[in-house]
Structure 1
Amino acid sequence: MLSYLTRRFSHFTVRRAPLIVIAFAVIAIGIFQAAPRWNEVAYDGDFDYLPPGTNSAVAARVMDAAFQQDRARSQIVLVLSTDQQELSDIDLLVGDDLLRRLYHRLSEACYRRALSLGYQGGPIDSAPQETHKWLRRSLSTLDRCINIDKRFYERFIDYLPDQAPTLTEPRMAIAYYDRSQLLSTAPMEDRSPDQDLQDALTLVPSIDQTLQPIEQRKVAAWDSLLDILSWDESVLGSQLSKPGAQLAVLQLESELAATGNVATLTEVHQIVNDVRKYSVQRIANVSGEPVNTVIAVTGSAAVGGETLIASRDAIRYTESITVIMILLILIMVYRAPLLVAIPMLSIGFAVIIATSLVALLAQLSEQQVIPWLDMRVFTTSRIFIIVILFGAGTDYCLFLISRLREEASQAPWVVACRRALIGVTSALMGSAMTTIVGLGMLWFADFGKYHYTGPIIAICLLVGLIVSLTLVPALLTVLGPIVFWPNKIDPTDQHSRSRLTGIRADGVPARRNNLWSWIALKVTRRPGWTLFLGILALLPPSYYGAQNERAVTYDLTSELDESAPSRRGTKLLQQHFDIGEINPVTVLMVRPEDHPREELRKEVQQLTKLLYQQSGVVAVRNANDPLGDFPPDRGMGLLNADSWRRMALQKHRVAQDYFFSNTQEYQNRLVRMDLIMDGNPFEIKTQQQVVAIHQTLLDVTNSEQSKWSESEVYLFGTTPSIIDLRSVTIKDNQRIKIAVVLAVFLVLLIVIRRFMLCAYLIFTVLLSYYATLGITAAFFGWIYGDDFVGLDWKLPLFLFVILVAVGQDYNVYLVTRIVEEQRQRGWLAALRHALSRTGGIITACGVVMAATFFSMTASAWLPPTLEALGFPSSQTLGLRGIVELGFALGLGVLIDTFYVRTVLVPSFVSLMGKFRAKRPARR
């Protein structure tokens, strides 16, 4: 039945070749126009895709419900420091220049937020509660901005450059103008906008004609900004200042990996650059001495934004290098323009159709047009799609063209095209299905990024397979034998051939007297020893790989290259501050019933004493002690200065509505506390301490004697999210590995129909997986040195799934050819003939696939290489996870191509043949 369908399909494809070519052109143009662009529907981040039932996911929903409009989800931290023990007056001057610009941006963001909530004008004190807060914050921030601006100008007057004033230099004229506009729109009884407008016109006379109102300005990059906490705060300043360094913390509403953070981060860097050019360089020029003030940018949103930028760069370099590598390989293999153009054109169609189709489905899913459709695409998913489509698509084309050349030497062109398609369809479908089904098994993962990414790539690969079985033979049929020009179809031709692939310049696999005939002969003469020594050689790296399979890092900052600004900023921050201070663990205690707030405060005090007893806890921030400065054992009298400071902190805007929720659902029920841990939030030790704290709190809620009995406990923050991520992905790894192995094994059984051989093929790819993992871990441990904290946590699973699935392609190609040859000759002759005839083409395919995977490493080596050669190259951020995975996949494919398929598989098949030959026939 399958054979009949294959023949019918091949007949139709060849007979309707012109129609198929036209249809694909129409489909590609139509779907490209209809589909959104990839970056319009792509998501990112990791924590957002944890299962909804995990502790941190539930905590995030509670936080959203309890603190709605004013919850910071990420932050950008600016570190101002010097190499001296104390900050000098010049350092403080530079800091004022930075703060006045930042506070003005905050005032714009707060006013725009009030407008987005429905504010249309009227007195501030009469505005609805939801807008009143933002109008007040906008006004108070402008007041702060102008006060800092005055102080800056007094300090900077001796360094003033001789240039026309602007909106922000030397004075913040825009701040005076904005305050006048705000007071005109939202008047206050005791304040007039007239003097501010006059001051703004004095500074920049044309400001009233040239400056747009706030609501019309293109400042959307700042819309996620909620607040700024800085060293200039009268109450909080001591927490954000240390000898030699000060902090300004920009609190953002967006998640750390939100795509909008790229624009926000770009704007922050622009402000920092403006400060360096205006203040730092001007002071250095006038004084004649270098200014040692350093301004660094870090924080979770900075790391997330730079990770997105690095992903974008990785995609750009990967796509370019992939196309170049495929083009060069095809030129070296065929040296025929049309045989190069047909695969490139066909794969181009496949990429356009596949990516547009997936983007369109993701959009329909997001808009809930199709109720049962659930699909997401990610920024980095495109990298996998590009490399696998180009690699697999080129492989399919190579096999089809190689088989066509064999058939064309014996039959007319149209007949040869039909026979070639019949001959390779089963093998191509079988090999493709191992990859499609293997990647599809990721659908059963709990972690959302695994759950969506695998099926997305499988869909795209299915599109690539369809294109290879329809458009490619259609193009070959339409163009005719001219595709081999300048070579001719002549089976007796002795053109030069590649020693690597065994393919002649015209695409003909070399005859028996080639390298692969020699290898086939050697491998099959002593198959037992070949098999034993072959497996033995892979055991040491496989053992090392198995030992390091779980020794991966979940450190988000280590994903970026050392040169990334956020990593440099983190290192600078750690020199002066505790990293735990900006990465607290948030504890949410939710009582089953309402309690008076004062009673809750007393109960929090008792709970705080318990938390201070836990290992790793440095401070506990709560409603009674907003900064965690006053542990329970620190006694204070009524007249103590610190006692009055604590009372001021409790009334500060940071403490208001922060530790208690004012929403109807959680009012007088929810208590929030922030724990400052003494370790790095990504370290295993810190995670173990947080797990222990969570268990302690659960024990408290399970105790009938406790006032917190039957309360709900949630932990939120970087460390709890990492704990959940590690737990979920470890379980996914175990489940998906089993599913992939079983699924691929079943596909092999259907295609090959030999149980022992299928089981052995699975064993070989598992062996090559662990060997690849071991070599990769050793290689990057050597490359990174002391900076190596482990391979990226996503690498083992993606490497396993792709290598087990893709690695079987070449085994399927070889084994199906052996089965085909056994119909005409004995098992040994069939094995040698199949290995000889497919060796070159399979090697070429393996090199193509490895090259496309290695292109994922381009962002690490291409920019410095271009710079070393004297070519201009834009600075790029390396994404270590992508580089490591690209290296591992490329290495794994090479091991499968040159070792597993060349040594381990033929030797086992040879042993099976000998065993069957010696086994007495059944009567």
Structure 2
Amino acid sequence: MSTLTREAQEVGPPPGRYGGLVAGRRSTWAVLAIWLVLMAVGGSLAAKLGSVQDNDPVSWLPASSQSTKAVEVAEKHFAEKDVSTAVVVYSRDGGLTAADLAKVENDRGALKASAVKVSGDRKAAFISVPVRTAENDNAVLADGVDRVQDVAGTGVPGGLDVKVTGEAGSIADFIRVYSGMDGVLLGVTLGIVALLLLVTYRSPVLWLIPLLAVGLAAQVAAAVVYLLAKHAGLAVDGQSSYILIVLALGVGTDYALLLIARYREELHRHADRHEAMAHAVRGCLPAIAASAATVGVATLCLVFGSLNSTRGLGPVVAIGVAVVFAAMISLLPALLVILGRWAFWPLIPRYDPGDPGDQGYGGAGERGTGLWARVARTVGRAPRPIWIGALLVLVALAFGSTGLSTGLTQAEQFTKKTDSVVGQETLARHFPAGSSAPADLYVRAGEAAAAVSTVQKVPGVSSATQAGSAGGWTHVSVVLAGAPETKDARQAVERVRTALDHGGARSAVVGGESAVALDRHKAEGDEERLLIPLILGIVLVMLIALLRSVAAPIMLLASVVLSYAAALGAAALLFQALGHPRIDRGLLLFGFLFLVALGVDYTIFLMTRVREEVPRLGHREGVLTGLSVTGGVITSAGLVLAGTFMMLAVVPTVGALQQGLLIAVGVLLDTFIVRSLLIPALALEIGPRVWWPNGKVRA
């Protein structure tokens, strides 16, 4: 066949400059070379990401919080900079023996700890040990706690139970949990993505190509984040690191699935694979760019948060999405073109000049047969019962969220009990529960006596004693009746602060572990009130710009908000079933951000294709054709993204487990109910008015 005849038979508009660039016969090799250089440089840097994490809860608080001010006073006047406290708890059910008490006293001397405190029932004792920390160097605190454990674990009399808890013990447990977790999480997530891709493509070769591209992109993104954290002050913690990995792999695979599906379509229409890829890139670029922009800009809204951890998460995620987007529209097309059609073996797409792409969802070929063509026909026959039924299911699930309880404590953070958690439980049985982490009250020396007298009368306070004076300030140690970070402890701290304000000690600031939890809880509430409306506004503007209408974006945004509520309710039921009913309040904002941003992704993929088909086929046929054509790829994308977030279960913390479950449930609801049933059925019910005020699309 002559070139002229072949080109006359090929369908579709010109491929565009960018598509021609990344799919060109020579430029594809240049694209591949650039990414190999980036990987060579970034691979070693990505491995260092864990070294710049800061998992100290105090460092994430707003500068205006009392807890932060208390730390500043302590560091300036009491030489407590870069110091945490480990609490060593000794217990014996039958009562401590003389040998036990001798062991405790020896440890106190070796560790330069505080005076030994023995419980009234003589069954437990504890000492408080100062442990040095260092900014952006987790190893210093971990090594310090290891030394405490080595000393406390040596020469223990038979039957004496010894555990290390306190703030330093808890932080050390977190460091151990996240140490090396980036590599484990990357490997496990790559494994699940590989399995899902293998099932999707049923090819021994094709699944490797997107996996390679996404894996390279994730490593480059981690390297960029490391450099910014090391040299530009970007805040990174364990949570943002693992979210970066999971999101990069999940979102990147989504984009890859969309591009490969469109490339397969174009290979049927074009004899030349370079030409086919150029058209595929041109067809997918608006949807992928809109998705990446929506997720990236929405997450950047987090820079307006109150907590440093929130402000740091936004840029980390945005960087990951930007790098993955760049890889999926450059590296992936280059790899696919270089490898040629045989990469699809054994289901190799052949050039077919009679491709039935113009016949709509009811025609012959790929658009008229298969599961999603049948789904489209079902939606087309009864749109009203379908959207009403889908709506009722989502509303019913949303009611499950009424059982959610916030206030996940440090002791509840791990899926398995650690030494610090067991030690705290032992301490609480024999002493006031707050003994392991007293609140730190700093007050001007002239107001110290009045402050102590006031605090001792506050409900929820076991004792208040002066612990030292320096620089015109007095340090008062306040032991609370409630365990650290619990609701009782937070309320006690709030009552102490209120009593001091009304008791004439206005210079007083209250810090410590429970005060940090209180200030974080308040800051998270402030963030919800500010950021949720801001994110909604940003997403709405992005949808309006993409679809060039107002009615459709409002419908889409309302659907994903309802989907979020349903996901929250369904996840709440799962949390209760798993024995972790309480959540950290930050999960509400985290879940909202990612489920709204990622949920909009699938409606973007659907509606951009519908918008492409409507002017050609009419509104009804365009909606059903868009659903039929995108159904398989979006379902695969949803399964991959849900699967990658479920991999957070390998991180042995309750927070990570809950994050993974919430996002996975929400993505599946978006995939199988919102995008497959609710949106197309509503679009048919509303009719061409859904494109208002864009009359051209309504043709």
Cα distance, 1:230 vs structure 2: 4.6
Say if 2:547 is the partner of 1:537.
no
Q: Cα–Cα, structure 1 residues 563 and 5, in superposed 2: closer, same or farther, change >3 Å?
A: farther
Q: In the alignment, is the contact (CA less than 8 A) between 2:45 and 2:226 conserved in 1?
A: no
- Residue 435 of structure 2 aligns to which amino acid in structure 1? E
Say if 2:305 is the partner of 1:445.
yes
Distance 1:513 1:561 in 2: 46
Cα distance, 1:265 vs structure 2: 2.8
Cα distance, 1:320 vs structure 2: 2.1
Cα distance, 1:690 vs structure 2: 2.5
Cα distance, 1:569 vs structure 2: 1.4
Say if 2:563 is the partner of 1:768.
yes
Distance 1:585 1:777 in 2: 32
Q: In the alignment, is the contact (CA less than 8 A) between 1:77 and 1:247 conserved in 2?
A: yes
How many residue pairs get aligned? The number is 671
Q: Cα–Cα, structure 1 residues 266 and 607, in superposed 2: closer, same or farther, change >3 Å?
A: closer
Q: Secondary structure, in 3 states, of the residue corresponding to 1:824?
A: helix
What residue in structure 2 maps to residue 468 of structure 1? 328
Q: How does 1:556-595 map to 2 (within 5 A)?
A: 556-590=410-444
Task: Pick one of 74, 79, 96 that aligns with 2:89.
Answer: 79
What residue in structure 2 maps to residue 733 of structure 1? 528
What residue in structure 1 maps to residue 262 of structure 2? 403
Q: In the alignment, is the contact (CA less than 8 A) between 1:559 and 1:792 conserved in 2?
A: no
Distance 1:791 1:488 in 2: 48
Q: Secondary structure, in 3 states, of the residue corresponding to 1:715?
A: strand
Cα distance, 1:413 vs structure 2: 1.2
Cα distance, 1:719 vs structure 2: 2.1
Task: Pick one of 446, 469, 493 that aligns with 1:660.
Answer: 469
Distance 1:242 1:320 in 2: 50
Cα distance, 1:490 vs structure 2: 3.1
Deviations 1:625-668 (A, max 9, x none): xxxxxxxxxxxxxxxxxxxxxxxxxxxxxxxxx5210xxxx3xx
Say if 2:636 is the partner of 1:826.
no
Cα distance, 1:389 vs structure 2: 1.0
Say if 2:369 is the partner of 1:513.
yes
Say if 2:670 is the partner of 1:791.
no
Cα distance, 1:248 vs structure 2: 2.5
Task: Pick one of 280, 292, 309 that aligns with 2:176.
Answer: 309
Q: In the alignment, is the contact (CA less than 8 A) between 2:57 and 2:516 conserved in 1?
A: no
Say if 2:251 is the partner of 1:251.
no
Distance 2:626 2:403 in 1: 38
**Which structure has the larger Rg over C-alpha atoms?**
1
- Residue 524 of structure 1 aligns to which amino acid in structure 2? G
Q: In the alignment, is the contact (CA less than 8 A) between 1:394 and 1:845 conserved in 2?
A: yes
What residue in structure 1 maps to residue 680 of structure 2? 906
Q: Secondary structure, in 3 states, of the residue corresponding to 1:337?
A: coil
Say if 2:221 is the partner of 1:354.
yes
Q: In the alignment, is the contact (CA less than 8 A) between 2:683 and 2:690 conserved in 1?
A: no
What residue in structure 2 maps to residue 646 of structure 1? none
Q: Cα–Cα, structure 1 residues 437 and 699, in superposed 2: closer, same or farther, change >3 Å?
A: same
Q: In the alignment, is the contact (CA less than 8 A) between 1:765 and 1:807 conserved in 2?
A: yes
Distance 1:489 1:359 in 2: 41
Q: Cα–Cα, structure 1 residues 35 and 682, in superposed 2: closer, same or farther, change >3 Å?
A: closer
What residue in structure 2 maps to residue 805 of structure 1? 597
Q: Cα–Cα, structure 1 residues 607 and 464, in superposed 2: closer, same or farther, change >3 Å?
A: closer
Distance 2:425 2:664 in 1: 33
Say if 2:57 is the partner of 1:46.
yes
Q: How does 1:101-120 map to 2 (within 5 A)?
A: 103-104=109-110, 106=111
What residue in structure 1 maps to residue 114 of structure 2? 229
Distance 1:247 1:740 in 2: 48
Task: Pick one of 759, 769, 784 that aligns with 2:554.
Answer: 759
Say if 2:689 is the partner of 1:880.
no
Q: Secondary structure, in 3 states, of the residue corresponding to 1:338?
A: coil
Distance 1:387 1:756 in 2: 33
Q: In the alignment, is the contact (CA less than 8 A) between 1:314 and 1:856 conserved in 2?
A: no
Deviations 1:122-149 (A, max 9, x none): xxxxxxxxxxxxxxxxxxxxxxxxxxxx
Q: Secondary structure, in 3 states, of the residue corresponding to 2:376?
A: helix
Q: In the alignment, is the contact (CA less than 8 A) between 2:197 and 2:207 conserved in 1?
A: yes
Distance 2:322 2:690 in 1: 37
State TM-score, norm by structure 1: 0.69
- Residue 422 of structure 2 aligns to which amino acid in structure 1? R
Say if 2:67 is the partner of 1:56.
yes
Q: In the alignment, is the contact (CA less than 8 A) between 1:430 and 1:751 conserved in 2?
A: yes
Distance 2:507 2:576 in 1: 43
Coordinate RMSD, CA, aligned: 2.9
Cα distance, 1:801 vs structure 2: 0.4
What residue in structure 1 maps to residue 276 of structure 2? 416
Gaps of 5+ in 1: 107-226, 232-236, 281-290, 367-374, 494-501, 503-507, 592-599, 623-657, 702-707, 860-877
Distance 2:457 2:14 in 1: 73
Gaps of 5+ in 2: 1-11, 354-360
What residue in structure 2 maps to residue 778 of structure 1? 573
Distance 1:910 1:789 in 2: 40
Q: Secondary structure, in 3 states, of the residue corresponding to 2:468?
A: coil
Distance 1:839 1:519 in 2: 9
Distance 2:108 2:14 in 1: 68
Task: Pick one of 519, 544, 549 that aligns with 1:724.
Answer: 519
Q: How does 1:841-852 map to 2 (within 5 A)?
A: 841-852=633-644
Say if 2:667 is the partner of 1:858.
no
Q: Cα–Cα, structure 1 residues 812 and 559, in superposed 2: closer, same or farther, change >3 Å?
A: same
Q: Cα–Cα, structure 1 residues 606 and 811, in superposed 2: closer, same or farther, change >3 Å?
A: closer
- Residue 304 of structure 1 aligns to which amino acid in structure 2? I
Distance 1:35 1:914 in 2: 49
- Residue 88 of structure 1 aligns to which amino acid in structure 2? T
What residue in structure 1 maps to residue 475 of structure 2? 672
Q: Cα–Cα, structure 1 residues 35 and 910, in superposed 2: closer, same or farther, change >3 Å?
A: closer
Identity over aligned residues, as a percent?
A: 25
Distance 2:437 2:231 in 1: 37
Distance 1:340 1:79 in 2: 53
Q: In the alignment, is the contact (CA less than 8 A) between 1:47 and 1:725 conserved in 2?
A: no
Q: In the alignment, is the contact (CA less than 8 A) between 2:490 and 2:515 conserved in 1?
A: yes
Distance 2:688 2:115 in 1: 79
Task: Pick one of 498, 505, 515 that aligns with 1:695.
Answer: 498
